[in-house]
Amino acid sequence: MRHAPVVVHRIHPSGGRQVTLRTANGEESLGLAHSDDDVIEFLRRAGMPDPDDVVLGGADLLDWQGDTPHVYEADPPTADLP
C-alpha cells in the first residue's frame, strides 16, 4: 500500500494543522499551517516541484487526516455561552 508523501494532520483545537513529509526515516515536520498558502510555502521550502498544483489538485500526494481538506480552524463550540 502506497502512502501519500505529505500529511496534513487533523486541526489543532487552537487552529492550524501540522504538516509533515514522509521520508525513508519517518516523518519530518514542515510546520503548522493556517491556510493552503502555508502548506504551499512549506512544500516549496522542502523542494517539492509545483507545490501549488500539489495542494490544489494533487490528491494522491496529500493525505488530509481527520478533517475536511483545506479547512484550518476548529469549529467554535456549539453550546450556548452563559
pTM equals 0.84
The CA distance from 47 to 67, in Å, is 26
Backbone angles phi, psi at 44, to 5 degrees: -60, -45
Which tens digit of pLDDT belongs to each residue from 11-36?
999 999 999 999 889 899 999 999 99
pLDDT band at 74 (very low <50, low <70, confident <90, very high): confident
Scan for cell 490544489, then name that residue: 56
